[in-house]
Structure 1
Amino acid sequence: MRRTIGQVLEETKIMVIDGAMSTALEELGCDLNDALWSAKVLIESPEKIKEVHKNYFAAGADCSISASYQATIPGFIKRGFTEAEAESLIVRSVELLKEAREEWWEESGKAAGRAYPITACAVGPYGAYLADGSEYKGNYGISKEELRAFHKRRMELLWNAGGDLLAIETIPSMEEAILLAEMVEEMDAACWITFSCKSETEICEGQKIADCAKALADFKGVQAIGINCTAPHLVASLIGEIKSVCDLPVIVYPNSGAEYDPTTKTWSIPEGCKPYGEFAKDWKEAGAELIGGCCCTNAKNICEVHHVLRDGCDCH
């Protein structure tokens, strides 16, 4: 049986999501300066991906997200893999996550009385495949049919690999989000959908996040709606915008506060950025029920989130 967000929230009241895959892999010595980004490690060092998942569970995460954000069939084919090999690598991202969950659960999670975690299969936007920062711009200039064809097979592979839900994330476009929600419904699958946002009210392509949430709220496969890969100081307002039109749980896993330069593919932290755990407290007070981290966050940050949300930390 697949685990649902509702089941975990019944046990935990508020749910901790993991942090960045890329940052954690870099901390383990991986070089991600590549169009495949973290998906490159599926080829070179898959055991490190499993290590990252286990570290996040140990840090207090109730959910970890597969290393499939930038794992696409055309991306792997460009690198010289066959279509069958590309499909196998995408499936492997889910297998590694499920293996990590079982190992952590048997080694320590069950004995500690933790909730059995959710496995979420990352579905990045079309913009992530372009590897030019388009997930923060949208306006791809391709047809709805081309967009559907790009997403369809990967989504089927990820869902059929047995994860609990699809983590449809960093979506800059209302059109892309609605298309993906339609596809989830056609597959009789489950998902959350999170947007990349450029202001306190707008997603990156310029649509109001309240309009996006209202349009998505009635899709039966959508279990939560929210924000990821967004500046943390924007998030409390965005939570309020979603909650004003939608009764679904709100999920947020923003960036650490670092700012991204798509030309150099580097992050820098501005002066005066407050600790991540303090942001998490703000998001909880604003009404988010699922909270984690995206780019430049790591297991230490997720431990902070766990501490803030659970009034004490047993994750060391």
Structure 2
Amino acid sequence: MPRASGPLAEALAHRAVLLDGGLSNQLAAQGCDLSGDLWSGRVLAEHPDQVAAAHTAYVRAGAEVLITASYQVGYEAFAAHGHDRAETTALLRRSVRLAARTAEAADHEVWVAASVGPYGAVLADGSEYRGRYGLSVRALAAFHRPRIEALLAAGPDVLAVETIPDTDEAEALLTVLAETGAPAWLSYTVAAGRTRAGQPLDEAFALAAASPEVIAVGVNCCDPADVLPALEAAAAVTTKPLLAYPNDGSVWNATTRTWHTPDDPVPWPTRAWHAAGARLIGGCCRIGPDRIAALGALPADRRP
């Protein structure tokens, strides 16, 4: 079956759609080395077959959306490791092609979402969980514009503007999206009822409410306990479909480059998420194909 037969936005008007899970943890499970500042981008550059294998694992688990391996691919970061602009552009486009080939080989409809990670991701210092980089909205837009243009040239179904920690960066990204007209979802990373930078969630979600390019809005890479309050805040300011793909409740330590796992598993009240308006549901860091398969086996949680 060749990819998805229609726009993702149309599907979301009728049903919920299952996202994939964390790419980095699946690559690690496959034995890939993710050490160094380039993280999964290094695997994309050196072992693209492993990226394709990770996508395949999620498709076999039932995922209907594959998020590309472009999250941490940035021109400045890759230049520091010897990649010129043409090589980095090629890697961004490769990430889309790898996911598209997997989607085309699937036995069910699969959309390709090109990951646009935050500025903090390419710094590789955990600042995507803090935001407030000291850059203006204009500077952030200038950073994101060439990455988005390169990804769009490869023809993804949608842009996954994800793990955004503050409203300044969201404003910058929405500016670039308006220039392109490309469909996208906007996903914040949040904690304790606010963005990671500490802004009120109603203000954050309201930024996307009036954007015709944004087909869904919500949260990712956050504690599952933070999902429902965030969805409720989003539903209060927008009628757009909502999305949720949290991590497993672990906390990232950028100094040691390790995850601190909670003592007890954090519940995933997916029925409540769906009732609050979530139509794109999946997982982020440390959520693998088994968890995605389990989500897909809950049709009552996935259908309006």
Query: What code does the residue aligned with 1:264 have?
Result: T
Partner SS for 2:133: coil
Q: Does 1:180 align with 2:173?
A: yes
Show CA shifts across 1:19-50 (max 9, x none). 00000000000111211111111111101111
Flag the 1:235–1:50 CA change in 2: closer, same or farther, 3 A: same
2:286 corresponds to: 296
Query: What code does the residue aligned with 1:182 have?
Result: T
Partner SS for 1:122: strand
Query: What code does the residue aligned with 1:5 have?
Result: L
Query: What code does the residue aligned with 1:16 have?
Result: L
Q: Does 1:16 align with 2:6?
A: no
CA distance in structure 2 between the aligned counterparts of 1:254 and 1:311, rounded to whole angstroms:
16
Correspondence list, 1:1-316, <5 A: 3-10=6-13, 13-104=15-106, 109=107, 114=108, 116-199=109-192, 201-274=193-266, 278-309=268-299
Q: Percent identity?
A: 37
CA distance in structure 1 between the aligned counterparts of 2:301 and 2:217, rounded to whole angstroms:
25
8 Å CA contact 1:2, 1:164 repeated in 2: no
8 Å CA contact 2:224, 2:266 repeated in 1: no
CA distance in structure 2 between the aligned counterparts of 1:166 and 1:311, rounded to whole angstroms:
25
Flag the 1:80–1:2 CA change in 2: closer, same or farther, 3 A: farther
Partner SS for 2:298: helix
Cα RMSD, aligned residues only: 1.7
CA distance in structure 1 between the aligned counterparts of 2:253 and 2:31, rounded to whole angstroms:
22
Partner SS for 1:289: strand
CA shift at 1:3, angstroms? 4.1
Show CA shifts across 1:229-279 (max 9, x none). 10111111111110011100001101012222121111132122245xx43
Runs of 5+ unmatched residues, structure 1: none
Partner SS for 2:185: strand
Query: What code does the residue aligned with 1:4 have?
Result: P
TM-score, normalized by length of structure 2?
0.94
Query: What code does the residue aligned with 2:114 have?
Result: C
TM-score, normalized by length of structure 1?
0.90
CA distance in structure 2 between the aligned counterparts of 1:169 and 1:308, rounded to whole angstroms:
25
Runs of 5+ unmatched residues, structure 2: none
8 Å CA contact 1:124, 1:171 repeated in 2: yes
